[in-house]
Amino acid sequence: MKKLYTVFSLAMIFIIASCSEDIGNYEYSPVEVITIKGIDNSYTKLSGVERITLDPEVSTTANDADFEYFWGIYETNVQGYAPKIDTIAKTKALDYLIKQPAKGWVLVFRAKNKKTGYFQYVTSSVNVVTQYTRGWYVVKDDGTQTDVDLFKNPTNIIPETKVENVFSLVNGKKLNGKASLFSFLTAYKSSVTGVLGNTRALFVVSDNDATVVDINTFKEIRGFNSLFYESPSNKAPNFVTFASQANYFVNDGQVYAIYTMSANTGQFGVRKMRDNLNTPYKVSKYFMTYGFSDPIFFDETSSSFISSGATGNMVNAVSDAAATKMKANNNNKKLLFMGNKNTAPFSGYAVFQDKTDPNLKILSSITPALPNLTIINDTLKVADKLYNATNYTLLQGDENMLYFTVGNQVWSRNLSNKFEQLQYTVPAGEEITFIRHRKYTGSGAEAPYSYNYVMVGTKIGANYKVRMFTKTSGNLSANPVFTLDGTGSVGDVIYISPSISESTYTNTF
């Protein structure tokens, strides 16, 4: 991307240099030095609301200079065409209302001495946002229909205001069914700007419907029926995810994909077959995946792990590694949970129940080295709290722990020594419906918005609460940092900002 950006920048230099007519002969000795001050390296502006107001200081080593000025702006994330620079002013001072779509742009200022022909220019990145591009999103349902709430946080990670039912508010409809997972993509292909290109898009999924919205406007890009070249006959979405060179949509346990390394229209291809015999299969709602590996799915029909490549009309079979303690194929297990633990190396955990002996439950570590899997089993005891767990989340990339819920309690299990500990008890009358670990940390995180939370969602009558807990050495704080409140039952929670990409979160349970 850096190399591509450099090519664009060089192209812009020549375009900028030719933006005004250059006539006459000039003497270029001694060399003139033009200096421009007063323009920052970057700006973040709210589209349609905020302005860029600048009056740079321009000086030169030449005597009796006569300057002409140029301001322009061009987008950086384009596909299939050269970026076009738009002229926005020809004065030294700029007072410009930002009205571009929310994405990355480059602001250009050029000062040219008409007497000598010498010019100097500076560029500044402009991060254009909208009211929808920063905040906590909650997908929730009332038992029959799904909608989305937005909790806005303009100054730091703690929200200040709420926009209820933002999906139906913008699109005039709700999704049918109960809320499921979010999936955020930064390079989903659409024509929302009039030209096919990368779009920051959020998939909202229920168990009976799905949509993808432009995060800039929250307007629907495609509904379920237009998300596929051939829409599935049974509308039963499971999840949307991305992995090595592809986006995946699992509907009714069947795998569909978009190969992202070639031009596409944002529509998923035909259903991938299990094998040349078109053997029936049904993928579980639990999965392991991240951007640099093919996904790991579990076929509930055959009790077998499968994977998928970015191309081709069939899913891929998975084999047993030499050190595995459980077969990857036909292992006679029911998958109760599976999720990522780490991405380097790629690994995760699963909880299984034996189909012949339902009293046998197993916690297994899974290490893919495709096409092989290494599965190491730990048989659960009836006395283990994990034995009766309902909701699960792994601390991804953090402490070696699994969080889970039993009744109205949140427990942790140390995956190294099997130690289980009560972490939190929700108040009486509340039902835990959701638990998730998400974090936005590291060098790429914006400091006021950096976080590392275990999120616990509960339902109280017709209302929900999502408590945001920090943790120390794997143990939850006594009280949440803040709580999100709304109507309905929670399916998923995700924080979106202009700097967050599809690789910020590991898209898994």
Span 2-60, pLDDT tens digits: 333 334 444 555 455 555 444 444 444 568 999 999 999 999 888 877 899 999 999 99
Average pLDDT, integer, range 468-475: 97
Query: Do 297 and 321 contact (CB within 8 A), yes or no?
Result: no
Average pLDDT, integer, range 105-110: 95
CA 19 to chain CA centroid, nearest Å: 38
Q: What is the pLDDT of residue 19?
A: 52
pLDDT tens for each residue of 223-243: 999 999 999 999 999 999 999
pLDDT tens for each residue of 336-356: 999 999 998 999 999 999 999
Range with lowest mean pLDDT among 8-12, 45-49, 486-490, 496-500: 8-12
Q: Which tokens go with 458?
A: 């509960």
Q: Which tokens go with 465?
A: 């609460």
Query: Do 289 and 340 contact (CB within 8 A), yes or no?
Result: yes
pLDDT higher than 80, residue 436: yes
Task: Name which residue leads in pLDDT, 324 or 444.
Answer: 324
Four-CA torsion 230, 236, 239, 245, nearest 10 degrees? -20
Residue type, position 135, single letter: G
pLDDT higher than 50, residue 117: yes
Task: Name which residue leads in pLDDT, 23 or 82.
Answer: 82
Q: What are phi and psi of 467, to 5 degrees?
A: -95, 130
The three-state secondary structure class of 48 is coil
CA 118 to chain CA centroid, nearest Å: 45
Q: What are phi and psi of 202, to 5 degrees?
A: -120, 120
Q: Which of 412, 389, 416 is nearest to 400 (CA)?
A: 416
- Rounded CA-CA distance 500/215 in Å is 12
Task: Name which residue leads in pLDDT, 16 or 178.
Answer: 178
Q: What is the pLDDT of residue 76?
A: 80
Q: Which tokens go with 498?
A: 């202009």
Q: Which tokens go with 128?
A: 């254009």
Q: What is the pLDDT of residue 338?
A: 98
Q: What is the pLDDT of residue 16?
A: 53
pLDDT higher than 90, residue 100: no
Percentage of the chain lying above the pLDDT 70 cut: 93
- Rounded CA-CA distance 320/275 in Å is 18
Mean pLDDT of the chain: 92
Under DSSP, the state recorded for 65 is -
pLDDT tens for each residue of 447-467: 999 999 999 999 999 999 999
- Rounded CA-CA distance 352/139 in Å is 28
Average pLDDT, integer, range 153-171: 94
**Integer-rounded Cα radius of gyration of the chain:** 27
Q: pTM for the whole thing?
A: 0.82
Q: What is the pLDDT of residue 83?
A: 75
Q: What is the pLDDT of residue 75?
A: 85
- Rounded CA-CA distance 465/479 in Å is 14
Q: Which of 108, 115, 133 is nearest to 496 (CA)?
A: 133
Q: What are phi and psi of 385, to 5 degrees?
A: -60, -35
If you average pLDDT over each of 24-38, 67-81, 151-165, which comes out highest? Answer: 151-165
Q: What is the pLDDT of residue 78?
A: 62
Q: What is the pLDDT of residue 129?
A: 82
Query: Do 350 and 328 contact (CB within 8 A), yes or no?
Result: no
Place of tokens 């800039």: 216
pLDDT higher than 70, residue 386: yes
pLDDT higher than 90, residue 184: yes
pLDDT higher than 90, residue 369: yes
The three-state secondary structure class of 14 is helix
pLDDT tens for each residue of 300-329: 999 999 999 999 999 999 999 999 999 999
Transcribe 206-250 into DSSP letters. ESS-EEEEETTT--EEEEGGGSBSS--SS--EEEEEEETTEEEEE
Q: Which tokens go with 395?
A: 């601390």
